[in-house]
A and B are shown apart, each in its own frame.
Chain A
Amino acid sequence: MRGFAHVVRAEVFKVLRKRRTYVLAGLWWGLLPALVLFVGRLVHVNFGGTFVDESGGIALVVQEIASPYGIARIALIGPAYVSPTFYMIVVALLAALLIGEERGHAMWKTVLVAQPQRFPVMAGKVSVAMLALGVLMLGAATSGALFGALGTTFLPTTWAGDWTGLAWLYALQWAFCLAAVLFAFLMVFLFKNIALGVVTVFFLPGLLEGLYTLYRATVGFEPVNRLNVLFQALRLQQRLEAIPQYFFTSNLYAPARSPVADLVRAVNTGGGEIPQDALGQLLGAGITLPHAAAVMAGYAVVFGILLFWRFARHDVE
């Protein structure tokens, strides 16, 4: 246990001295909420009181996106939508710092002499990555609320919102990211080239999911070839068609994407129905939080076992 605590202290020391930590914090804590506030201001100034605002919906839109609650919520949602997602960028950069650099700077031989028990070393590094991610997310929520508070001075916004629900979603999203951290650590550890490891973290899940989708779209699971006959014989067809429910990326961002439906509904000032099919992917359709939690726990167990097993047997050359 003392070894674990020593590793955590040492790695925190290192993370705090790395410039990229502050760049990530600056983007998430400063740039994102400032941009959202700016957009809220633009919407308010340009559309408030115009023909678009006949039903008085603009004030509601501004409240949903630029209030303290609104910005804090977008700081959770937004990073799950760019590609590669900001969550994955953070996780990959932490993996590069905490795992990749040990190989890149030939530091494993130093680390593993100062702290020869390998399990506490890896457990400490995973914990520090989760701690750093947690601090970044907490800071994003706090700065979002603070920027929103600033906005209340010149926008028709209030502090209203489901803060408890939002805090729960933040906590869930943070917990779900454990699987992503373990996956990123594993990839960066397995690849001798850090950049290749990071690229793999960004694109491998998407690539595998894309290949599945392509296969399903072009060949499908009808018995048109021997492989599919085998699938049918084994009654695997239904299970194979359900695979997207278990995709890494669909489930990873379930907490962050779950408030999007509310947000879209709120800003849909026209009052028409939201086309569920078109927005299905955007809204993370068909994936409930308990299901996603179970799937991500499974991924975390698999990636964790592989990572710790591989690290324990690794020869430091």
Chain B
Amino acid sequence: MDHAIAATSLTKRYGRVAAVDDVSFEIAPGEIVGFLGPNGAGKTTTLRMLAGLIRPSRGEGHVLGQRVPGNSLRDVGTMIEEPSFYPYLSGRDNLRHAALLHGGVEPGRIDAMLAFVKMEAAAGKRVRAYSQGMRQRLALARALLWRPRVLLLDEPANGLDPVGIAEIRENLRAVAREGVTVLVSSHILAEIEKLVDRILAIEKGRLVFDGPLERLLARAEALAYRYVLRATDVEALERVLREAGLAPERAGDLVAVEVDAERADALVSDLVQAGVRITEARRESDDLEDAYLRLVQADARPA
């Protein structure tokens, strides 16, 4: 088995609309991969196909060397969209039901997982009384219950506060250290940036990027730079930038502007030549969100 997860020309059509269109990628065992895309891009549909929940219109998914759906899915843990539970059962009983359904869960594993996600105290309460954060943590505990070798996580930090997001991130890091392959989707890019080494980016059902995080950042930087400028005459600065066909954004006495890579080097000298006295010029480094947005806007195709 070379790949923990593989998608080959995975396509899902609803009538004439392709929710996922010819998506192919491979993920090695132990890799942690971020799956980026705006809402409706096709992330959840792709994950559902890999989890055997929906049938592809074309192409196929493989998990742990076996075609999906198949028995290898018993080694998969998932959190797909909103975490769902039987509300009339307690958190512990929901885990117990999942453990019985799967089979082969060792005694003590439920308590260990409740402790792992810091849910021991609330485990006896019915799930209908849980907050969103508690449900997310319980869903992670359930996904890990049968020691999966692959985790498919769809927006695991959705609806969480910053503390909850940090906790989920720490939990996922701990899981990844044990060699579990993780494919985690999110539209909260900061959450992904701190967790993964590789990015798959999907837009309108098509894969637009597949590569290391650094390459995504570098590629986005190659497309455009963002400058923050200060001048003695801010109005003049804005006017000159607009005349140059740029779109300045003013914030107090600072002006931010995005410039194509080929024009970036000459920006300041062009402004000086136009008579604008620049007192400060700073090039901002991209974070993942900027890079991703730039990538999507440029409508880039697979690398």
Per-residue interface assignment for chain A, residues 61 to 102, with 1 indicating a CB less than 8 Å from any chain B CB and 0 otherwise: 000000000000000000000000000000000000000010
Q: Report yes or no: B54 in contact with A7, Cβ–Cβ below 8 A.
A: no
Known: A10-B101, A316-B48. A107 touches B84 (CB 8 A): yes
**Segment among B74-82, B161-169, B187-195, B255-263 that sits at the interface with chain A:** B74-82
A41 close to chain B: CB less than 8 A? no
Residues of A within 8 A of B103 (CB): 2-3, 5-6
Kindly identify which residue among A106, A109, A114, A313 contacts B101, using a CB–CB cutoff of 8 Å: A114
Chain B, interface SS category: loop
B25 close to chain A: CB less than 8 A? no
Which A104-148 residues have a C-beta within 8 angstroms of B? 105-117
Complex Cα distance, B101 from A5, in Å, reads 9
Which A6-62 residues have a C-beta within 8 angstroms of B? 6-7, 9-10, 13-14, 17-19
A277 close to chain B: CB less than 8 A? no
B275 close to chain A: CB less than 8 A? no
Which B69-98 residues have a C-beta within 8 angstroms of A? 69-71, 73-74, 76-78, 80-82, 84-89, 93, 96-98
Chain A, interface SS category: helix
Q: Report yes or no: B86 in contact with A116, Cβ–Cβ below 8 A.
A: no
B55 close to chain A: CB less than 8 A? yes
**Size bracket of the A interface:** 20 to 34
Q: How far is the CB of A126 from chain B (nearest CB, A)?
A: 16
Residues of A within 8 A of B97 (CB): 10, 13-14
Q: Report yes or no: B100 in contact with A6, Cβ–Cβ below 8 A.
A: yes
B interface size (C-beta, 8 A): 33
A317 close to chain B: CB less than 8 A? yes
Kindly identify which residue among B54, B102, B142 contacts A316, using a CB–CB cutoff of 8 Å: B54
Complex Cα distance, B15 from A188, in Å, reads 26
Known: A6-B103, A114-B101, A317-B54. A17 touches B88 (CB 8 A): yes
A315 close to chain B: CB less than 8 A? yes
Q: Report yes or no: B51 in contact with A109, Cβ–Cβ below 8 A.
A: yes
Complex Cα distance, B81 from A18, in Å, reads 26
Which B38-75 residues have a C-beta within 8 angstroms of A? 48, 51-55, 69-71, 73-74
Residues of A within 8 A of B84 (CB): 105-107, 109-110
Q: Report yes or no: B102 in contact with A115, Cβ–Cβ below 8 A.
A: yes
Q: Report yes or no: B73 in contact with A116, Cβ–Cβ below 8 A.
A: yes
Q: Report yes or no: B86 in contact with A13, Cβ–Cβ below 8 A.
A: no
Q: Kindly report which residue of chain A lies nearest to residue B154, judged by CB atoms.
A: A109
Residues of B within 8 A of A3 (CB): 103
Q: Report yes or no: A315 in contact with B53, Cβ–Cβ below 8 A.
A: yes
Q: Kindly report which residue of chain A lies nearest to residue B86, judged by CB atoms.
A: A105
Q: Kindly report which residue of chain B lies nearest to residue A3, judged by CB atoms.
A: B103
A residues sitting closer than 8 Å to B (CB atoms) are 2-3, 5-7, 9-10, 13-14, 17-19, 101, 105-117, 313, 315-317
B residues sitting closer than 8 Å to A (CB atoms) are 48, 51-55, 69-71, 73-74, 76-78, 80-82, 84-89, 93, 96-98, 100-103, 142, 146
Beyond contacts A110-B142, A114-B74, A317-B48: 11 other A-B pairs, Cβ-Cβ < 8 A, are A9-B100, A14-B97, A105-B85, A105-B87, A106-B82, A110-B78, A111-B101, A113-B52, A113-B77, A114-B146, A316-B48
A-B contact pairs, 17 of them (CB 8 A): A6-B101, A10-B100, A13-B97, A14-B89, A19-B88, A105-B87, A106-B82, A109-B51, A109-B80, A109-B84, A112-B53, A113-B73, A114-B98, A116-B52, A116-B69, A315-B55, A316-B48
